[in-house]
Structure 1
Amino acid sequence: MVEIPSLPPAIRDDVATLWAYHQMGHQLRPVDVGVGLGSHDLSVATYAAQLWRQAIFPLIVFTGANAPTTVARFPRGEAVHYQEHARSLGVPDDAILVEPAATNTAENLTLTRELLTQRGITPRSVMLISRPYQQRRAYATCRKVWPEVEVICGSLPLALDDYVASIGDVERVVNMLVGDTQRIELYAERGFAIPQPMPEDVREAYRRLVDRGYTARLVA
């Protein structure tokens, strides 16, 4: 019998606090373009295909090259594998564009905008589709580097425990959550994103998880 990964009780409340903070809670509505942000998580492409079938947007841009965490899983690049997965779910080629060069969230957005401009497309609204814990950072980055578009964010709707089980790696999920929490303030300070409020309970949960050793995704 395969054991389903689950969060240790000692950290579950803190992880749940960060999990809730990073999800923006935006209401789903039709937009001009969907943007699937590359990562290790194939559910981004799954959800993008689902939303396309629901006519939330007529066009998907999948964006992303590789990170050290995705080379083995997506050897042809994140965006290319996302495209292939969306095709397998019924999205036609003429509804997908691929941006294969971006290596960070700012590049995901700026290179997507350049690709759309080259195709004569100037969207007024976009939906960023990402990992659940990337939503807030993606939103803050988009408002900084692509301020002229209206932006909403979303992820495949899964509860925390279901998401951890789907990824199959508790350490990865917790480390990524902690790393994205650090980046909210750090990237705003460095001019990469607009500032976001951070409640004290989120700060405290972040500190406790760092003290427990979840530091693999922290920026030095």
Structure 2
Amino acid sequence: MTDTHQAITEDQWQRAKLIWDYHQMGHDVAPVDVAIGLGSHDLGVAAASADLYRTGLFPVLVFTGGNSPTTQARFPRGEAVHFREHALELGVPDHAILVEPNAANTGQNITLTRDLLAANGITPKTVLLVSKPYMERRSFATARKLWPEVEVLCASEPLELDDYIKSIGDEKLVLDMLVGDLQRVMEYPKLGFAIAQDVPEEVRAAYESLIRDGFTSRLIDS
């Protein structure tokens, strides 16, 4: 564990685990027309997408994402471009990958990917969204709002919170991101960005408690 982990109390850890579990949709992955790897700071999305491709679940894989302040240094050529390169290294053939290099948020990930697929003559009925583990629910809610005609499944790297934190290397940051994504799950439906999701009371209480404890760097003005 990192030094940051030692600064997190057991109670905070348990509250974070509640939120982590809530963010994951628990979908049974099935064959789909297209998979979409959502750009982020986490190259594990590309690895998970490649693993799923190799199981034969889909014939087409789209990586979507430009840059953000948190990814510019790590992925200077853009998230989707780097994700594609990583997937190629992991054995996904070039002919199976499309790249959408401009999206700056999750809504654009969905709408620009839909447009890219249409331009390539692909109108899917089923899609698999591959994201960071704590982004499954928000990506699902966004896609259901902006692309209601498709059936949406979600997947991510099969990691527990402990292992995910080790992969990122910054426990405080991960807890901040868990809190920030939950805020978006709750607030974005009011802005027309996503469908509403039921938030259990214990999850909401964990969220409010972690905010009081200062896990706030990823919150948006609301």
Give me the TM-score of the superposition, normalised by structure 2. 0.96
1:200 corresponds in structure 2 to 201
Secondary structure of the 2:63 match is: strand
- Structure 1 residues 71-86: aligned runs within 5 Å: 71-86=72-87
- Structure 1 residues 55-204: aligned runs within 5 Å: 55-204=56-205
Aligned residues of 2:2 and 2:169 also touching (Cα < 8 A): no
RMSD: 1.2
Could you list the per-position Cα deviations for residues 66-108 of structure 1 after superposition, in whole angstroms to 9, with x for gaps in the alignment? 1111011000000000000000001111000000000000000
Aligned residues of 1:6 and 1:161 also touching (Cα < 8 A): no
Query: Is 1:15 aligned to 2:19, yes or no?
Result: no
Could you tell me how far apart the structure 2 residues matched to 1:13 and 1:152 are? 27
Could you tell me how far apart the structure 1 residues matched to 2:176 and 2:122 are? 37
Give me the TM-score of the superposition, normalised by structure 1. 0.97
Shift of 1:5: 6.1
Could you list the per-position Cα deviations for residues 16-68 of structure 1 after superposition, in whole angstroms to 9, with x for gaps in the alignment? 00000000000011000000000000000000000000001111000000111
Secondary structure of the 1:153 match is: strand
Aligned length: 219
Secondary structure of the 2:35 match is: strand
Secondary structure of the 1:11 match is: helix
Shift of 1:4: 7.8
Could you tell me how far apart the structure 1 residues matched to 2:121 and 2:87 are? 23
Secondary structure of the 2:70 match is: coil
Could you tell me how far apart the structure 1 residues matched to 2:170 and 2:87 are? 24
Query: Is 1:40 aligned to 2:45, yes or no?
Result: no
Could you tell me how far apart the structure 1 residues matched to 2:141 and 2:11 are? 31
Could you tell me how far apart the structure 2 residues matched to 1:215 and 1:97 are? 35
Moved more, 143-152 or 166-175: 166-175
Aligned residues of 1:4 and 1:165 also touching (Cα < 8 A): no
Unaligned 5+ segments in structure 1 are none
Aligned residues of 1:4 and 1:168 also touching (Cα < 8 A): no
2:212 corresponds in structure 1 to 211
Could you tell me how far apart the structure 1 residues matched to 2:11 and 2:207 are? 14
Aligned residues of 1:23 and 1:136 also touching (Cα < 8 A): yes
Secondary structure of the 2:14 match is: helix
Secondary structure of the 2:36 match is: strand
Could you list the per-position Cα deviations for residues 91-148 of structure 1 after superposition, in whole angstroms to 9, with x for gaps in the alignment? 1110000000000000000000000000000001000000011000000000000000
User: 1:42 corresponds to which letter in structure 2?
Assistant: L
Could you list the per-position Cα deviations for residues 142-167 of structure 1 after superposition, in whole angstroms to 9, with x for gaps in the alignment? 00000000000010101110111111
Shift of 1:12: 0.5
User: 1:176 corresponds to which letter in structure 2?
Assistant: M
User: 2:141 corresponds to which letter in structure 1?
Assistant: A
Aligned residues of 2:15 and 2:210 also touching (Cα < 8 A): yes
Secondary structure of the 2:98 match is: strand
User: 2:120 corresponds to which letter in structure 1?
Assistant: R
